[in-house]
Structures are given as structure tokens and as C-alpha cells.
Amino acid sequence: MAAAVGVNLLLTVAQVIGGVLSGSLAMIADALHNFSDAASLIIAAWARRIARRPADADMTFGYGRAEVVAALINLTTLIVIGLYLIYEAVMRFFQPQEVIGWLIIVIAAVALVIDLVTAALTYRMAQDSVNIRAAFLHNLADAMGSVAVIVAGALIWAFDWAWVDPAITLLIAGYILWMAWSEIGGVIRILMLGTPPRIAPEQVLHTAESVDGVQSLHHAHLWQMDEHAAALQAHLVIETGAWDRADAIKTEVKTQLAAAHGLTHVTLEMECAEHICVDARRIGH
């Protein structure tokens, strides 16, 4: 990851110089995105380091959500960059500038190789971390941007079509926004304590209520602790006459929830049927 950061910073400098000399907005757009790649990798590495800290008195759930926060920062940065590039591209349509096509092709080709190498370095870690996946998407978007810049440079060199430069910039920006938007919803869902997208609360409650001796559940809260772990908190009502085996019932409920839904962090407050909460909501307070 350190190597990927260093290479991206060097590439950013080269692309800025190349963009200024060639007059290419698409090249400068790609350089800006490359700089965000380096920043995203630094943030991702920093967050991954923090996330490994054990729980303590200040963070009783641990520091795992540091990676989620980092992902939000990186994805928000992508959206800002995409919107800025759209603005610059539109302005370039009204104020076209001369562009040197062959210089764009050479620098963009070098950038493409570096982008692909950087993406390859982060691909494996991106499979199980939304934080690293956000950084990986930065690099993948930049590789696509480099391809687009090469196409733009070829068309400008061959046909002197200056309008292709801002047009390609708009395509790059659109692709960046699409990728960021597709990922940011899941990140916000975790930070907002939303339910896991593949677990329906009613199915979870039904699994618990199917255990012999359970009358019902209420005050249920089901949320994602981080990208991979979910938690459930609820009031568990024990049927009349079954209170003498309440502990065994609770243990069985937890066993069934772990087997059916992968829930291993479950907190249950037990109530007897004769002293159930009044006007209790099934989900939430």
C-alpha cells in the first residue's frame, strides 16, 4: 500500500505537468483523481490500523467502524471530485482550448499501467473491507479514466476534435459518481445503525419465537456493528409456566439465531408473560 501511495503521488505530479503542457482538462482531471487515490490509500491504511485496536472503556464496541468512517470520507471525496469535473468540463465547452493529443496519449498510457498495478495491489483486501474497497474503486475509476484520456488524445491527434477533451471528462466524472453512489448507501446504513441488508428483522424475530417456551419478542433492535458483524437486542417474553427453564430457552434462542442468521452478538432481556411491558413496540422503543 505504501508503494501504491508513492507511485500515485509521482504520477499525479507527472499528469499535472502533462495536462498543463498539453492543455488537456481530461489529463488534469485524471491527475486530480490520482491524487485522491493516494489520499484514499493513506486514509484506508490509517483506518485499518485503528480498527485493529481492542475494545476499551472509551470504545466498548471496539474501533472497527473506523474503516466505515474512512470509506465515507473516500466516497464523499469521489463525489465532490466528480461534481467538480462536471463543472470544469461544461466551462471548457464554452471556452475551448488547444490540446496536444500525442502528449496526452503518452502520459495517459503510463498512468493506465500504474493505475492497474495499484488496483491489483488492493484487490484482495477489497474483498472483505468496505474501507479498502472504497480505495480500490478510486484506482479502478482512475484506470477507466486513463483509458478514456487515451481515446480522447487519439481523437484529438487524428482529427483535431478539441471538444472530445471535455466530453471525455464528463464521461469520467459520470463514472466516478456512479461508482461512489453505488457504495455510499451501504456505508451510511452502517453508520445510521441500519439493519443488515440481507437480514429481515421479522424473520429474525420469527426464528426466536419458534423456540419452545418463547411467547414473543418486543423492543427489538437489529443493527450492523460493522461491515461483517450484526447485533440484536430485544426483550424476550417467556411463556407462562416455562420460567423455570428460562436460561435454557435463552440459550436455545441464541443458538438458533446464530445458525439461521449468523447473529452472534445477541442481548436478551427476559420477561415473564405475566409482567410483560405495557404498550411495547415490536421493533424499537
Any idea what the CATH number is for the domain that residue 139 is in?
A: 1.20.1510.10
Among 209, 236, 235, 232, CA closest to 222: 232
Cβ partners under 8 Å of residue 200, min gap 6:
none
Domain for residue 44, yes or no? yes
Same domain for 126 and 234? no
Q: Tell me what the mean pLDDT of segment 249-271 comes to.
A: 95
Residues 134 and 46 both lie in one domain: yes
**Which of 91, 96, 84, 89 lies closest to 166, judged by CA?**
89
Q: Do 179 and 217 sit in the same domain of this protein?
A: no
The whole-number pLDDT of residue 222 equals 96
Mean pLDDT of the chain: 84
**Predicted local confidence at residue 26, as pLDDT:** 67
Residues 101 and 208 in one domain: no
Matching residue, cell 502528449: 103
Reported confidence tier of residue 33, pLDDT bands at 50, 70, 90: low
- Specify the pLDDT at position 251: 96
3-state secondary structure 54-108: CCCCCCCCCCCCHHHHHHHHHHHHHHHHHHHHHHHHHHHHHCCCCCCHHHHHHHH
Per-residue pLDDT at 122 exceeds 90: no
Q: Residue 119 domain-assigned? A: yes
Q: What is the structure's pLDDT at 278?
A: 85
**141 is written with which cell numbers?**
475509476
Sort strands 214-224 and 230-238 into parallel, antiparallel or unpaired: antiparallel
Residue 281 lies in a domain: no
* Burial (0-12, 13-18, 19+ Cβ within 10 Å), 104: buried
CATH code where residue 250 lies: 3.30.70.1350
Interacting residues of 227 by C-beta distance below 8 A, sequence separation 6+ = 64, 67, 68, 128, 129, 130, 190
Give the mean model confidence (pLDDT) for residues 134-138: 72
Q: Is 196 within the bounds of a domain? A: no
By residue range, what is the domain housing residue 24? 2-191
The b-or-e profile of 10-37 (16+ CB within 10 A means b, else e) is: ebbebbbebbeebbbbbbbbbbbbbbbb
Residue 99, pLDDT > 90, answer no
Please give the C-alpha separations between residue 15 and each of 1, 130, 168, 251, in angstroms, as whole numbers: 21, 28, 16, 61
- 105 and 134 in a common domain: yes
82 and 183 belong to one structural domain: yes
Please indicate, yes or no, whether residues 110 and 248 belong to a single structural domain of this protein.
Answer: no
C-alpha cell at 219: 423492543
Residue type present at position 129: S
Of 39, 114, 112, nearest in space to 70 by CA? 39
Residues 164 and 237 in one domain: no
Q: What is the pTM of this model?
A: 0.74
Q: Is residue 33 part of a domain?
A: yes
C-alpha cell read off for 168 = 471525455
Q: What would the mean pLDDT of 23-30 be, rounded to a whole number? A: 72
* Boundary of a domain, candidates 191, 222, 246: 191
Domain count of the chain?
A: 2
- Do 259 and 132 belong to one domain? no
Whether 282 shows a pLDDT value over 90: the answer reads: yes
Residues 217 and 132 in one domain: no
Give 169-225 pLDDT, tens digit per residue: 788 788 878 878 888 998 999 999 999 988 999 999 999 999 999 999 999 999 998
Does residue 86 sit in the same domain as residue 208?
A: no
pLDDT-above-90 percentage for the chain: 29
Whether 223 contacts 204, CB under 8 Å: no
